[in-house]
Amino acid sequence: MAACKRGALIVLEGVDRAGKTTQCTKLVESFREVGRAAHLLRFPDRTTTIGKLISSYLENKSDLEDHTVHLLFSANRWELVPLMKKKLEEGTTLIIDRYAFSGVAFTSAKPDFSIEWCKAPDVGLPKPDLVLYLRLSPAAAAQRGEFGTERYETSGFQQRVEGRFEQLMDENSVNWQVVDASQSIDEVHDNIKRLSLSALTAAEDRPIAELWR
């Protein structure tokens, strides 16, 4: 009997209001429509004990030291790794709204944080087979309405985050694909669906790799 093919690990990244959450939901539906199991995850996962600490920090209800909150974001990914591996090995594709790249981009946008230090706690996480970067200019993002009220939701900070994402994309150890997020929801969806289905075909016979290792 042929070994069970694994699912793909697909991550959507991008600045706030690029449409990640909408696109993640539509992508899961598309996988299911073509008969492939798919499951949606998002980071931070605010439902766990660690996730609740992070959520309170983001909502400005509590303060946490900058290194500490970075490590909590990472711990919040590691606590989900057993579930992620189980799902992938069962053949379920994971569509993830933000991952370690957001972790690095947001913390390293703060003063005195290097990209190298920020990556360290996430080294060895399950490596995405595809990272879709939804690129949206600050001007186009501004047309989509006001920023929210959570921590980091200011235009100055978001511009630094965007610069960090662009730096991360220079590395070719990760399969980054840039998608123009200024297109219509359906156009963006068609692009990411095509890229995601071909990533699944390429990944399903290969073992799960380790990020940044």
Is 129:204 a contact under the CB 8 Å cutoff? no
- From the list 99-107, 169-177, 194-202, 205-213, the region that binds ligand NYM by CB under 6 A is 99-107
Which is nearer to ligand NYM, 58 or 132 (by Cβ)?
A: 58
Q: How far is the CB of 75 from ligand NYM (least distance, A)?
A: 10
Binding of residue 57 to ligand NYM (CB under 6 A): no
Which is nearer to ligand NYM, 102 or 182 (by Cβ)?
A: 102
In whole angstroms, give the CA distance from residue 188 to residue 138.
18
Binding of residue 98 to ligand NYM (CB under 6 A): yes
Closest CA to 70 of 158, 171, 152, 130: 152
Residues 6+ apart with CB under 8 A from 213: 123, 124
Interface with ligand NYM (CB under 6 A), residue from 6, 24, 30, 73: 73
Binding of residue 58 to ligand NYM (CB under 6 A): yes
Binding of residue 50 to ligand NYM (CB under 6 A): no
Helices and strands of the chain, counted as H and E runs:
9, 5
Q: How far is the CB of 29 from ligand NYM (least distance, A)?
A: 20
Interface with ligand NYM (CB under 6 A), residue from 17, 23, 28, 106: 106
- Kindly tell me the sign of the dihedral angle through the C-alpha atoms of 107, 135, 100, 174: negative
One-letter amino acid at 209 equals A
Closest CA to 192 of 9, 41, 6, 12: 12
- From the list 7-15, 27-35, 102-110, 201-209, the region that binds ligand NYM by CB under 6 A is 102-110
Binding of residue 44 to ligand NYM (CB under 6 A): yes
In whole angstroms, give the CA distance from residue 152 to residue 194.
32
- From the list 24-32, 97-105, 172-180, 205-213, the region that binds ligand NYM by CB under 6 A is 97-105
CB atoms within 10 A of CB 127: 19
Question: Taking CB under 6 A as the rule, which mask of x and - marks residues 150-179 in contact with ligand NYM?
Answer: --x---------------------------
- With CB atoms as reference, the residue minimizing the distance to ligand NYM is 103
One-letter amino acid at 83 equals L
CB atoms within 10 A of CB 8: 27
Helices 155-169 and 100-107 sit at what angle, rounded to 10 degrees? 120
* Residues in touch with ligand NYM (CB under 6 A): 43-44, 58, 73, 98, 102-103, 106, 152
